[in-house]
Amino acid sequence: MTQRTLIKNLVSSTDGPVSVSGWVETVRDQKKVQFVVLRDESGAVQLVHPRIFNEDGTPADDAIAEEISALSQGTFLTATGDLKHDERVKLGGVEIKLDGLEIAARAIAETPIADDSGVDKRMDWRFLDLRVPKNSLIFKIQTTFEHALRCYWIDNDFVELHTPKLMASASESRAELFEVEYFETKAYLAQSPQFFKQMAQPAGFGKIFEIGPAFRADPSFTSRHATEFTSVDAEISWIDSHETVMTMHEELMVAGFTAVKEKHGAEIEALYGLEVTVPTTPFPRIALAEAKRIVAERGYEVPRQDDDMDPEGERQIAAYVKETYGHEFVFLTDYASSIRPFYHMRNAEDGAVTNSYDLIFNGVEISTGAQREHRIEVLVEQAKEKGLDPEELDFYLDFFRYGVPPHGGFGMGLSRVLMLMLKLPNLREATYLFRGPTRLTP
């Protein structure tokens, strides 16, 4: 039996016997010759079968022709035949003249989604939606991006951790917790690995990272929110300020974007009409108060009264940065302590602001980072100011009672990065299987 060849490798293969396996994308069933476009995970190839005729011109018995005529889109099969290189063939410059077909699984003739189906309908049939090269490419990009992040971290002596997703108490806001039955008690799905990645600092790990699931019971129906998402997290010891974290963060993003551009840049340009831009360092840094002033001068007043930036403000400051610096990224820094968690360190000169930042990419926040408060007495007081009971935080506060170095880190939404990199309309497109307030399937 001829060994299976991936379609992407046909161009570099020699003419002769070949076997390919995949699913039927299209069939052109003509009177004299039949064409089938077969696609696998690596590409597509044209299969050719000239019909057989008797001497009097009538159709002869032709098992392959009958099989092709009965094919439906999506049928999985193995095709054997002779590979021919022909520059006239538009699809890759090669084709296969068929000797035989072996059907693995037939598909229902009519598919439930089409090119113009809405996103919710497509999500209902995600496994079919992902057969489209433009959609499956997203997750090849995701793989390359994550691998590049890991390579950066490992090359810089970070340790990878896998923190628990079942927690006894909240790590951030109780309002966003999913509560689950846990034997005779209650547990909560982790909103972030925040407490656990901080625990690695007094443990002496120095630098850690994690890529894993996180859960937010947030009933938002926006284009950028999900109830389950993949969080990219890092935490490092012995930092001078949040500036140390930002430097690591921007170096990490450069590594990820460089890998994506090198491996997928041409395909992204062909399928999305976009050129991936590798960001230069340092990324622009703008204090939040200054960012609001800039946005106001552009004619937009941020309406929020909680010292935060709203989505339109983020879009406006991103437009300013693009126009002024030619950059797609900007760090907004010095967020008010009133809107930041109790564990963010406050500025030594102005306690009303924190040593923290949000990273904005193409007008949308993708990450929050900060220097953490590591002094136990300060941490307890800041928790009280936020209305938290220190006794309920005892397991967390214990980390700081036995010595901990100055440290900080960030958490970043993976799907948001992909969504903005490819300029997709919403997070659903950039998530393999999306979870939102009204979606638990497939």
Q: Are 11 and 92 in contact (CB under 8 A)?
A: yes
Amino acid at 127: F
Q: Are 235 and 249 in contact (CB under 8 A)?
A: no
CA proximity to 191, closest of 208, 170, 161: 170
CA proximity to 191, closest of 208, 174, 204, 205: 174
| 375 annotated to a ligand binding site | no
| 216 annotated to a ligand binding site | yes
Strands 207-215 and 159-160: parallel
Quote the CA–CA distance of 415 and 262 in Å, as a whole number.
Answer: 20
Q: Which helix (H) or strand (E) holds 379?
A: helix 376-385
| 10 annotated to a ligand binding site | no
What is the CB-side half-sphere exposure of residue 24 using CA atoms within 13 A?
27
| 110 annotated to a ligand binding site | no
Quote the CA–CA distance of 6 and 26 in Å, as a whole number.
Answer: 19
| 413 annotated to a ligand binding site | yes
- Residue 298, both tokens: 């552009």
| 416 annotated to a ligand binding site | yes
Quote the CA–CA distance of 359 and 440 in Å, as a whole number.
Answer: 30
CA proximity to 131, closest of 41, 5, 55, 219: 41
| 172 annotated to a ligand binding site | yes
The tokens 């050129």 sit on which residue? 275
| 372 annotated to a ligand binding site | yes
| 418 annotated to a ligand binding site | no
Q: Are 21 and 40 in contact (CB under 8 A)?
A: yes
Quote the CA–CA distance of 72 and 343 in Å, as a whole number.
Answer: 58
- Would you list which residues are annotated within the binding site? 172, 216, 365, 368, 372, 413-416
- Would you list which residues are annotated within the binding site for ATP? 365, 413-416
- Would you list which residues are annotated within the binding site for L-aspartate? 172, 216, 368, 372
